[in-house]
Amino acid sequence: MTHPKSNRLLESLPERDYERLLPFLQMVSLPMEQELYGPGDQVNHMYFPTTSRIAVSTDLHNGLGLNTAIVGKDSVLGLMVVGTGVSNSRAQVISAGFAYRINRKVLLDEIRLGGAIFDVWMRANQYLLNQLSQNAVCNKFHSVNQRLARWLLTNSDKFEMNSIPVTHAFLASSIGVRREAVSLAFLSMNDLEIVQSNRGTTEILDRERLERMTCECYFTLRKLSPFHLDNDLLIHT
């Protein structure tokens, strides 16, 4: 069981706006691998995760796909579809837990009123767009090791843990490389005792060296994050 304010977006709302949304928030339990929607589906609910994690992926007709985002307690599932209600992506639970869902039309009406909810939504959208543009640059110019280090650090920050449940196949889809490339990168990281990657779990052993290994994209987006990081703690530029 969790509280709605375990989600950082809901927590950031002024009490008056939060209380107005509260009657429409329904806590749901999300089991592992549940698909919340797929390409072309009508999206009826937005999800504010608290303890669950949801992967958003874009699929191709040949069966290949790429994970474009992981939604956790610092965000909301449905940022890009709240207006149209139709998805062009797939959303699947990758870590079981709880979330609070709200009817899309109810939330859309609240956003249209302006005020704090509109401001929070726009900040979240802006950060998502920043991520997408930074990802495009990162995937073009940075090495597999840099991108892998960035993914691990970002998700360690996002979920406030050093032990991250994730498979090599999922990581490969997340950073846009073959699974073998991820496995080779982990071999060197394991040998250097920067991380310990076992089947289905990767633990960060030496965060300082992992930060030296990653690319500038990690620090750029961390500075821009509107909800879950204390920018005063940043020591890198």
Decide if 122 is inside a domain.
no
Q: Check residue 210 and give its pLDDT.
A: 98
Q: Which domain holds residue 167?
A: 141-233
Same domain, 85 and 159: no
Report the CATH number that the domain containing residue 176 is assigned in CATH: 1.10.10.10
The residue among 223, 219, 200, 201 whose CA lies nearest residue 210 is 219
Same domain, 12 and 77: yes
Task: Specify if 87 maps to a domain.
Answer: yes
**Total tally of structural domains belonging to the chain:** 2
- For the domain that residue 107 is a member of, what is the CATH number? 2.60.120.10
CB 19 within 8 Å of CB 85: no
Last residue of a domain, one of 65, 85, 117: 117
Q: CA-based Rg of the chain, rounded to a whole angstrom?
A: 18
Among candidate residues 101, 100, 41, 91, the one with its CA nearest the CA of residue 71? 91
Confidence band of 207 (pLDDT split at 50, 70, 90): very high
pTM of the model: 0.86
Q: Could you give the dihedral angle defined by the CA atoms of residues 224, 227, 230 and 232, in that order, rounded to the nearest 10 degrees?
A: 40
Q: Is 125 contained in some domain?
A: no
Task: For residues 147 and 100, state if they share a domain.
Answer: no
Q: What is the pLDDT of residue 232?
A: 32
Tell me the CA distances in angstroms from 78 to 34, 84, 120, 153, 180, one per residue in order: 16, 10, 14, 24, 32
CA dist 134 and 132 (Å) reads 6
Residue 76's closest CA among 6, 28, 7? 7
**What is the model's pLDDT at position 187?**
95
Residues 113, 180 within the same domain: no
> Do 101 and 157 fall within a single domain?
no
Could you read off the pLDDT of 86-122 as tens digits, one per residue? 999 999 999 999 999 999 999 999 999 998 999 999 9
> In terms of Cα–Cα distance, which of 39, 49, 18 is closest to 86?
39
